[in-house]
Protein backbone atom coordinates (compact mmCIF):
# COMPACT_ATOMS: atom_id res chain seq x y z
CA UNK A 1 0.00 0.00 0.00
CA UNK A 2 1.34 3.38 -1.00
CA UNK A 3 1.04 6.49 1.10
CA UNK A 4 1.07 10.04 -0.20
CA UNK A 5 1.23 13.33 1.64
CA UNK A 6 1.80 15.58 -1.35
CA UNK A 7 -1.09 16.22 -3.75
CA UNK A 8 1.33 16.18 -6.71
CA UNK A 9 2.67 12.77 -5.71
CA UNK A 10 -0.82 11.27 -5.59
CA UNK A 11 -1.79 12.92 -8.87
CA UNK A 12 1.28 11.63 -10.72
CA UNK A 13 0.82 8.10 -9.46
CA UNK A 14 -2.91 8.01 -10.22
CA UNK A 15 -2.37 9.43 -13.68
CA UNK A 16 0.25 6.76 -14.42
CA UNK A 17 -1.99 3.99 -13.10
CA UNK A 18 -4.89 5.28 -15.15
CA UNK A 19 -2.77 5.42 -18.32
CA UNK A 20 -1.74 1.83 -17.61
CA UNK A 21 -5.42 0.87 -17.69
CA UNK A 22 -6.11 0.56 -13.96
CA UNK A 23 -9.64 1.17 -12.70
CA UNK A 24 -9.32 3.64 -9.84
CA UNK A 25 -11.73 3.98 -6.92
CA UNK A 26 -11.62 6.90 -4.50
CA UNK A 27 -12.94 6.72 -0.94
CA UNK A 28 -12.86 10.18 0.65
CA UNK A 29 -12.85 10.21 4.48
CA UNK A 30 -11.90 12.37 7.43
CA UNK A 31 -10.21 9.43 9.15
CA UNK A 32 -10.81 7.95 12.61
CA UNK A 33 -11.86 5.05 10.45
CA UNK A 34 -14.60 2.65 11.54
CA UNK A 35 -16.53 -0.20 9.92
CA UNK A 36 -18.68 2.29 7.99
CA UNK A 37 -15.61 3.61 6.18
CA UNK A 38 -14.24 0.10 5.69
CA UNK A 39 -17.51 -0.94 4.04
CA UNK A 40 -16.84 1.71 1.38
CA UNK A 41 -13.44 0.15 0.67
CA UNK A 42 -15.14 -3.26 0.46
CA UNK A 43 -17.70 -1.83 -1.97
CA UNK A 44 -14.87 -0.47 -4.14
CA UNK A 45 -13.25 -3.90 -4.15
CA UNK A 46 -16.51 -5.63 -5.11
CA UNK A 47 -16.90 -3.25 -8.04
CA UNK A 48 -13.58 -4.40 -9.41
CA UNK A 49 -11.30 -1.44 -8.67
CA UNK A 50 -7.63 -2.14 -9.40
CA UNK A 51 -6.52 0.74 -7.20
CA UNK A 52 -8.46 1.87 -4.13
CA UNK A 53 -7.34 5.30 -2.97
CA UNK A 54 -8.51 6.28 0.52
CA UNK A 55 -8.10 9.94 1.40
CA UNK A 56 -7.85 10.83 5.08
CA UNK A 57 -8.19 14.55 5.58
CA UNK A 58 -10.00 16.57 8.23
CA UNK A 59 -10.96 19.35 5.86
CA UNK A 60 -10.90 22.68 7.73
CA UNK A 61 -13.00 24.41 5.07
CA UNK A 62 -16.12 22.35 5.81
CA UNK A 63 -16.17 23.17 9.54
CA UNK A 64 -17.91 26.24 10.93
CA UNK A 65 -16.11 28.50 13.43
CA UNK A 66 -17.93 26.95 16.41
CA UNK A 67 -17.66 23.36 15.24
CA UNK A 68 -15.36 20.54 16.28
CA UNK A 69 -12.46 20.93 13.81
CA UNK A 70 -9.75 20.90 16.52
CA UNK A 71 -11.41 18.20 18.61
CA UNK A 72 -12.19 15.93 15.64
CA UNK A 73 -10.60 12.50 16.33
CA UNK A 74 -7.35 11.84 14.46
CA UNK A 75 -5.37 8.58 14.47
CA UNK A 76 -3.10 8.30 11.46
CA UNK A 77 -1.38 5.10 12.55
CA UNK A 78 -4.59 3.17 13.23
CA UNK A 79 -6.13 4.49 10.00
CA UNK A 80 -3.17 3.24 7.96
CA UNK A 81 -3.40 -0.22 9.50
CA UNK A 82 -7.16 -0.37 8.87
CA UNK A 83 -6.77 0.74 5.25
CA UNK A 84 -4.11 -1.88 4.65
CA UNK A 85 -6.19 -4.65 6.23
CA UNK A 86 -9.28 -3.60 4.24
CA UNK A 87 -7.46 -3.78 0.91
CA UNK A 88 -6.79 -0.13 0.06
CA UNK A 89 -3.85 0.22 -2.33
CA UNK A 90 -3.08 3.87 -1.60
CA UNK A 91 -3.73 6.29 1.24
CA UNK A 92 -3.59 10.05 0.83
CA UNK A 93 -2.85 11.97 4.04
CA UNK A 94 -2.42 15.60 3.03
CA UNK A 95 -1.94 18.48 5.43
CA UNK A 96 -4.24 21.52 5.33
CA UNK A 97 -1.26 23.59 4.18
CA UNK A 98 -0.61 21.48 1.10
CA UNK A 99 -4.32 21.19 0.21
CA UNK A 100 -4.96 24.92 0.63
CA UNK A 101 -2.08 27.04 -0.59
CA UNK A 102 -1.76 30.62 0.64
CA UNK A 103 -4.49 32.81 -0.90
CA UNK A 104 -6.55 29.80 -1.97
CA UNK A 105 -9.56 31.51 -3.48
CA UNK A 106 -11.56 29.06 -5.57
CA UNK A 107 -14.52 27.20 -4.05
CA UNK A 108 -17.30 25.02 -5.41
CA UNK A 109 -20.85 25.97 -4.46
CA UNK A 110 -23.81 23.70 -4.99
CA UNK A 111 -26.78 26.03 -4.70
CA UNK A 112 -29.87 23.85 -4.55
CA UNK A 113 -29.62 20.66 -2.48
CA UNK A 114 -27.15 22.27 -0.03
CA UNK A 115 -29.58 24.90 1.17
CA UNK A 116 -31.90 22.91 3.46
CA UNK A 117 -31.44 20.25 6.14
CA UNK A 118 -27.81 20.34 7.40
CA UNK A 119 -27.13 23.41 5.26
CA UNK A 120 -29.29 25.52 7.57
CA UNK A 121 -27.34 24.76 10.75
CA UNK A 122 -24.01 24.44 8.94
CA UNK A 123 -23.72 27.30 6.44
CA UNK A 124 -20.69 26.83 4.22
CA UNK A 125 -20.39 23.15 5.09
CA UNK A 126 -21.28 21.80 1.65
CA UNK A 127 -19.17 24.47 -0.02
CA UNK A 128 -16.22 23.03 1.92
CA UNK A 129 -17.22 19.46 1.08
CA UNK A 130 -17.69 20.16 -2.65
CA UNK A 131 -14.40 22.04 -2.84
CA UNK A 132 -12.33 19.33 -1.22
CA UNK A 133 -14.06 16.52 -3.10
CA UNK A 134 -13.58 18.32 -6.43
CA UNK A 135 -9.88 18.66 -5.57
CA UNK A 136 -9.67 14.97 -4.68
CA UNK A 137 -11.34 14.06 -7.98
CA UNK A 138 -8.73 16.10 -9.83
CA UNK A 139 -5.92 14.44 -7.90
CA UNK A 140 -7.05 10.81 -8.00
CA UNK A 141 -8.70 10.63 -11.44
CA UNK A 142 -11.14 8.02 -10.11
CA UNK A 143 -13.38 5.93 -12.33
CA UNK A 144 -15.76 5.92 -9.40
CA UNK A 145 -15.92 7.35 -5.90
CA UNK A 146 -17.70 5.72 -2.98
CA UNK A 147 -19.72 7.69 -0.43
CA UNK A 148 -21.92 6.53 2.44
CA UNK A 149 -25.68 6.88 2.66
CA UNK A 150 -25.04 7.88 6.28
CA UNK A 151 -24.43 11.40 4.96
CA UNK A 152 -27.41 11.31 2.65
CA UNK A 153 -27.54 14.99 1.77
CA UNK A 154 -23.79 15.02 1.12
CA UNK A 155 -24.09 12.10 -1.31
CA UNK A 156 -26.87 13.92 -3.18
CA UNK A 157 -24.89 17.16 -3.31
CA UNK A 158 -21.82 15.35 -4.66
CA UNK A 159 -23.91 13.60 -7.30
CA UNK A 160 -25.26 16.97 -8.40
CA UNK A 161 -21.75 18.43 -8.52
CA UNK A 162 -20.54 15.53 -10.66
CA UNK A 163 -23.46 15.98 -13.02
CA UNK A 164 -23.32 19.76 -13.26
CA UNK A 165 -19.54 20.09 -13.54
CA UNK A 166 -19.19 17.08 -15.89
CA UNK A 167 -16.79 15.12 -13.73
CA UNK A 168 -16.06 11.95 -15.66
CA UNK A 169 -16.73 9.46 -12.90
CA UNK A 170 -19.48 7.51 -11.22
CA UNK A 171 -20.71 8.16 -7.68
CA UNK A 172 -21.48 5.01 -5.72
CA UNK A 173 -23.53 5.30 -2.53
CA UNK A 174 -23.09 2.47 -0.02
CA UNK A 175 -25.59 1.57 2.74
CA UNK A 176 -25.35 2.77 6.35
CA UNK A 177 -23.30 0.54 8.65
CA UNK A 178 -24.68 0.40 12.18
CA UNK A 179 -23.49 -0.80 15.56
CA UNK A 180 -25.36 -3.89 16.82
CA UNK A 181 -27.51 -1.50 18.89
CA UNK A 182 -28.72 0.21 15.70
CA UNK A 183 -26.67 3.38 16.19
CA UNK A 184 -25.23 4.53 12.85
CA UNK A 185 -21.44 4.29 13.02
CA UNK A 186 -19.70 7.65 13.06
CA UNK A 187 -16.28 8.96 14.02
CA UNK A 188 -18.17 11.40 16.27
CA UNK A 189 -19.59 8.50 18.32
CA UNK A 190 -16.26 8.53 20.17
CA UNK A 191 -17.43 11.80 21.78
CA UNK A 192 -20.42 10.07 23.42
CA UNK A 193 -20.46 9.01 27.06
CA UNK A 194 -22.16 5.69 27.87
CA UNK A 195 -25.28 7.59 28.87
CA UNK A 196 -25.26 9.68 25.69
CA UNK A 197 -24.79 6.55 23.59
CA UNK A 198 -27.86 5.03 25.18
CA UNK A 199 -29.85 8.19 24.44
CA UNK A 200 -28.64 8.22 20.84
CA UNK A 201 -30.41 4.91 20.20
CA UNK A 202 -33.70 6.82 20.10
CA UNK A 203 -32.71 8.07 16.62
CA UNK A 204 -32.33 4.72 14.86
CA UNK A 205 -35.28 3.35 16.84
CA UNK A 206 -37.55 6.19 15.72
CA UNK A 207 -36.46 5.67 12.09
CA UNK A 208 -37.21 1.94 12.35
CA UNK A 209 -40.60 2.65 13.88
CA UNK A 210 -41.74 4.62 10.83
CA UNK A 211 -42.72 1.27 9.32
CA UNK A 212 -46.47 1.20 8.93
CA UNK A 213 -46.77 4.99 9.15
CA UNK A 214 -48.58 6.45 6.20
CA UNK A 215 -49.57 9.95 5.23
CA UNK A 216 -50.90 11.46 2.07
CA UNK A 217 -50.60 15.22 2.51
CA UNK A 218 -48.45 17.94 4.06
CA UNK A 219 -50.47 17.85 7.27
CA UNK A 220 -49.84 14.12 7.61
CA UNK A 221 -46.14 14.67 6.93
CA UNK A 222 -45.92 17.30 9.64
CA UNK A 223 -47.66 14.97 12.09
CA UNK A 224 -45.17 12.20 11.27
CA UNK A 225 -42.06 14.37 11.64
CA UNK A 226 -43.48 15.91 14.83
CA UNK A 227 -44.07 12.42 16.27
CA UNK A 228 -40.44 11.46 15.55
CA UNK A 229 -39.18 14.73 17.05
CA UNK A 230 -41.26 14.07 20.15
CA UNK A 231 -39.64 10.67 20.65
CA UNK A 232 -36.17 12.16 20.31
CA UNK A 233 -36.93 14.98 22.73
CA UNK A 234 -38.42 12.49 25.20
CA UNK A 235 -35.15 10.54 25.06
CA UNK A 236 -33.21 13.69 26.02
CA UNK A 237 -31.94 14.73 22.58
CA UNK A 238 -32.20 18.25 21.19
CA UNK A 239 -33.71 18.01 17.72
CA UNK A 240 -32.15 20.06 14.93
CA UNK A 241 -34.51 18.76 12.23
CA UNK A 242 -36.67 15.83 11.24
CA UNK A 243 -37.53 15.90 7.57
CA UNK A 244 -39.45 13.71 5.21
CA UNK A 245 -38.28 14.50 1.70
CA UNK A 246 -38.12 13.28 -1.85
CA UNK A 247 -34.98 11.13 -1.99
CA UNK A 248 -33.80 12.76 -5.24
CA UNK A 249 -34.76 16.42 -4.88
CA UNK A 250 -34.72 16.72 -1.05
CA UNK A 251 -37.98 18.67 -1.36
CA UNK A 252 -40.69 17.90 1.25
CA UNK A 253 -42.80 14.90 0.27
CA UNK A 254 -46.57 14.84 0.34
CA UNK A 255 -46.82 11.08 0.78
CA UNK A 256 -44.60 8.42 2.31
CA UNK A 257 -43.59 5.60 0.00
CA UNK A 258 -40.90 4.52 -2.43
CA UNK A 259 -38.43 7.33 -3.04
CA UNK A 260 -39.00 8.98 0.33
CA UNK A 261 -36.11 9.76 2.65
CA UNK A 262 -36.60 10.55 6.31
CA UNK A 263 -33.66 12.42 7.81
CA UNK A 264 -32.83 13.31 11.37
CA UNK A 265 -30.23 15.59 12.95
CA UNK A 266 -30.12 15.94 16.72
CA UNK A 267 -27.75 17.01 19.43
CA UNK A 268 -26.84 14.44 22.04
CA UNK A 269 -25.13 16.63 24.62
CA UNK A 270 -22.65 18.58 22.52
CA UNK A 271 -22.47 15.99 19.74
CA UNK A 272 -24.50 16.49 16.59
CA UNK A 273 -25.71 13.16 15.21
CA UNK A 274 -27.36 12.46 11.85
CA UNK A 275 -29.16 9.44 10.50
CA UNK A 276 -31.67 8.66 7.78
CA UNK A 277 -33.80 6.04 6.19
CA UNK A 278 -34.66 5.71 2.52
CA UNK A 279 -37.86 4.00 1.41
P1 LIG B 1 -16.44 10.95 7.25
O2 LIG B 1 -15.08 10.43 7.57
O3 LIG B 1 -17.39 10.94 8.40
O4 LIG B 1 -16.40 12.26 6.50
O5 LIG B 1 -17.08 9.92 6.23
C6 LIG B 1 -16.41 9.53 5.07
C7 LIG B 1 -17.33 8.69 4.22
O8 LIG B 1 -17.74 7.55 4.97
C9 LIG B 1 -18.61 9.43 3.83
O10 LIG B 1 -18.95 9.09 2.51
C11 LIG B 1 -19.62 8.89 4.81
O12 LIG B 1 -20.94 8.94 4.35
C13 LIG B 1 -19.15 7.47 4.97
N14 LIG B 1 -19.64 6.91 6.24
C15 LIG B 1 -19.49 7.44 7.48
N16 LIG B 1 -20.14 6.69 8.39
C17 LIG B 1 -20.73 5.67 7.70
C18 LIG B 1 -21.56 4.57 8.08
N19 LIG B 1 -21.92 4.36 9.34
N20 LIG B 1 -21.96 3.74 7.11
C21 LIG B 1 -21.61 3.94 5.81
N22 LIG B 1 -20.83 4.96 5.39
C23 LIG B 1 -20.40 5.81 6.32
Cβ-proximal residues to 119 (8 Å cutoff; 6+ apart), any chain:
125, 126, 153
Q: With a cut of 70, list the residues of the chain below it in pLDDT.
A: none
Please tell me the predicted confidence (pLDDT) of residue 212: 76
Catalytic residue, chosen from 37, 104, 125, 141, is 37
Neighbour tally for 5: CB within 10 Å: 12
Q: Which pLDDT score, from 0 to 100, does residue 256 have?
A: 81
List pLDDT tens digits, range 135-186.
999 999 999 999 999 999 999 999 999 999 999 999 999 999 999 999 999 9
User: What pLDDT, on the 0 to 100 scale, is given for residue 186?
Assistant: 98
Compute, in angstroms, the gap from residue 37 CA to the centroid of ligand 1.
5
- From the CA of 149, give the closest atom in ligand 1: 12
Polymer length of the chain = 279
Q: How far apart are CA 251 and CA 210, in angstroms?
A: 19
Nearest to 56 by CA among 35, 84, 83: 83
Q: Give CA–CA dist 116/104, Å, rounded.
A: 27
Cα distance between residue 277 and residue 123, in whole Å: 24
94 CB within 6 A, ligand 1: no
Among 34, 9, 35, 188, CA closest to 94: 9
Q: For 91-112, what is each residue's pLDDT tens digit?
A: 999 999 999 999 999 999 999 9
Where residue 213 falls (left for φ over 0; alpha for ψ -120 to 50; beta otherwise) is beta
Q: What pLDDT sits at residue 214?
A: 82
Q: Which of 25, 28, 29, 41 to mutate to test the pocket of ligand 1 (most atoms within 8 A of CB)?
A: 29
Q: What crossing angle do the helices spanning 7-19 and 125-140 adopt, rounded to 10°?
A: 50
Has 37 been annotated as catalytic?
yes
Rounded Cα gap, residues 190 and 60, in angstroms: 20
Task: Give the orientation angle of helix 35-46 with respect to helix 76-86, to 10 degrees.
Answer: 30
Cα of 243 to ligand 1 centre, how many Å?
20
Pick the closest to residue 62 from 8, 26, 110, 9 (CA basis): 110
**For residues 49 and 136, is the Cβ–Cβ distance under 8 A?**
no
Ligand 1 atom closest to the CA of 33, numbered from 1 = 2
Nearest residue CA, atom 18 of ligand 1? 36
Ligand 1, residue 32: give the atom nearest the CA: 2
Which residue, by CA, sits nearest to atom 22 of ligand 1? 148
- CA 45, CA 61: separation in Å to the nearest integer? 30
Distance, C-alpha 111 to centroid of its chain: 18
Amino acid sequence: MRTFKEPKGLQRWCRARKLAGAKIALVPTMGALHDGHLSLIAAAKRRGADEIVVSVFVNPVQFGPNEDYSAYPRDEKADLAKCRAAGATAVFFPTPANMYLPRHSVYVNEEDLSKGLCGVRRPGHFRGVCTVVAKLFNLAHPDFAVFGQKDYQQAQVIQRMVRDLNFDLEVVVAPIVREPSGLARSSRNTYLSAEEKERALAISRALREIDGTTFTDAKGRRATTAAIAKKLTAAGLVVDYVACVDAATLAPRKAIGKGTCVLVAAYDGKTRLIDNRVF
